Structure 1
């Protein structure tokens, strides 16, 4: 069974165009336990909305697919990495990542403001006040509504 997710990235750090150019990449650097746990629940073949965050306007810009299940995030062991965590070790990793592959860049951004206007998405984690997770689940119903109705 396919599950659906939304993953946020600041376009200045890593954009949908970067993923398109690379075709495939590890999704590293997640340092929130709930987001990490969501990634640990991902399976190969799961679909992902790629969301540009911390920009104006923020929103969904395309889709990707999980192509490798969660495995330890080696950047947490690299003392020179921005994502270094001295409490994470190879014997007891704290942080995990998945690999994603590019699927599609949308012709236009589907903004957070547009998503919030849809009563069908009122229960979506992204549209809830205070939701700042970089990785979150999307229901199949939300996925279908966004891709069929809102994407246009």
Structure 2
């Protein structure tokens, strides 16, 4: 199993929207590196659900339940999406400021490629962020 972080603007698609829908396609990704990451995801992989823009915090965990397929919102046919199922909210959301303040995360893509919307998370960082968020890794 691999771990990921996916970013969303809560005004467009929030954690509450994800919980209400339970399973939803992650569409609209137009960055080639982020799309490559979507193509790499496998069923059972987990991802942190990150609210970007004003909140800048990890608020929940989702799981890949359908591997990549064409993104119907892309008229060019170049981009893909995966389906995520809601797993659980973090008991304590983990802010970007908290992550920046912790030296364990110095190499995290979230800090090095801050505009990337879909990124891998290494096992140690996954476990540490889950602990910070009050959930089991």
Deviation at 1:74, TM superposition (A): 1.1
Report Cα offsets for 1:72-104 as digits up to 9, x if no partner: 111112xxxxxxxxxx1xxxx200000000011
Report Cα offsets for 1:24-69 as digits up to 9, x if no partner: 00000000000000000000000000000011x3110010001000
TM-score by length of 2: 0.94
Q: How far apart, CA to CA, are the structure 2 residues paired with 1:136 and 1:105?
A: 19
Gaps of 5+ in 1: 78-87
1:58 maps to which of 56, 59, 62? 56
Gaps of 5+ in 2: none
TM-score by length of 1: 0.85
CA RMSD of aligned residues (A): 1.0
Q: What residue is the counterpart of 2:20 in the other structure?
A: 21
Q: What residue is the counterpart of 1:84 in the other structure?
A: none
Deviation at 1:107, TM superposition (A): 3.2
1:64-143 matches, within 5 Å, as 64-77=62-75, 88=76, 93-128=77-112, 131-143=114-126
Deviation at 1:12, TM superposition (A): 0.6
Instruction: From the CA coordinates, give the structure whose radius of gyration is larger.
Output: 1
Q: What residue is the counterpart of 1:10 in the other structure?
A: 9
Report Cα offsets for 1:1-28 as digits up to 9, x if no partner: x000000000010011101000100000
Number of residues paired by the alignment?
134
